[in-house]
């Protein structure tokens, strides 16, 4: 009896460990996660099917770049969370203390701001019912705005209220199509 319980315990532990390590396994495209506190988690996915790369060189390059940035701008500004290769894909997960850090490191000009300070224009799709509303007509109190110009998946750790026509949503993941400035408004 004790041996049976031990085997069940070991199997359960193995299942739990496998579940905990699979965070990036399902991610197949660049994905940004925006947290309510302004922190950014980003998974970059690159195809290296030509075989012309070295995982060791990639890890060293990323480590050197992150260390140089943190030395110049403050330790903990960027953290390397995970690097993995899988079927000719290299996946890199970094976390950033805020959008300013993300933009500086990645040479982008994305926006994460209070909606009251953002210059929202055009029509927005209402998440709850799919209707459209003029951006100037929404109550911006307590809302945040994310604006990105590149194609990527976006996960907001707040409740999305509105998004524009450069964004589609499937099961809580928003996809910016890269054809214009994608806007997501959330609480």
The pTM score is 0.82
| Segments making up each domain of the chain, as ranges | 27-108, 109-187
The DSSP call for residue 135 is G
Residue 4, pLDDT score: 35
Q: CB neighbours of 109 closer than 8 A, spacing ≥ 6?
A: 103, 149
Q: What are phi and psi of 144, to 5 degrees?
A: -120, 155
Residue 5, pLDDT score: 29
Residue 99, pLDDT score: 98
Residue 10, pLDDT score: 29
Residue 21, pLDDT score: 37
Q: Work out the number of other CB atoms within 10 angstroms of the CB of residue 62.
A: 17
Query: pLDDT tens for residues 71-110?
Result: 999 999 999 999 998 777 889 999 999 999 999 999 999 9
Q: Work out the number of other CB atoms within 10 angstroms of the CB of residue 134.
A: 11
Which parts of the chain register pLDDT below 50? 1-22
Just give the CATH number of 27-108: 3.30.70
Residue 64, pLDDT score: 96
How, if at all, do strands 152-156 and 31-34 pair?
A: parallel
């Amino acid at each position: 009896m004790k041996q049976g319980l031990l085997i069940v315990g070991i199997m359960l532990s193995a299942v739990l460990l496998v579940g905990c390590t699979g965070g990036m396994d399902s991610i197949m495209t660049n994905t940004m996660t925006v947290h309510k506190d302004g922190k950014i988690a980003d998974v970059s996915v690159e195809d290296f099917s030509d075989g012309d790369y070295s995982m060791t060189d990639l890890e060293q390059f990323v480590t050197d770049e992150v260390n140089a940035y943190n030395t110049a701008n403050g330790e903990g500004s960027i953290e390397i969370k995970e690097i993995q290769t899988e079927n000719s894909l290299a996946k890199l997960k970094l976390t950033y203390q805020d959008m300013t850090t993300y933009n500086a490191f990645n040479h982008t000009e994305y926006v994460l701001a209070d909606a009251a300070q953002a210059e929202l224009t055009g029509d927005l799709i209402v998440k709850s019912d799919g209707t459209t509303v003029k951006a100037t007509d929404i109550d911006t109190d307590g809302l945040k705005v994310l604006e990105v110009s590149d194609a990527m998946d976006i996960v907001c750790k707040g409740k999305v209220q509105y998004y524009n026509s450069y964004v589609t949503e499937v099961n809580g993941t928003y996809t910016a199509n890269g054809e214009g400035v994608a806007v997501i408004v959330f609480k």
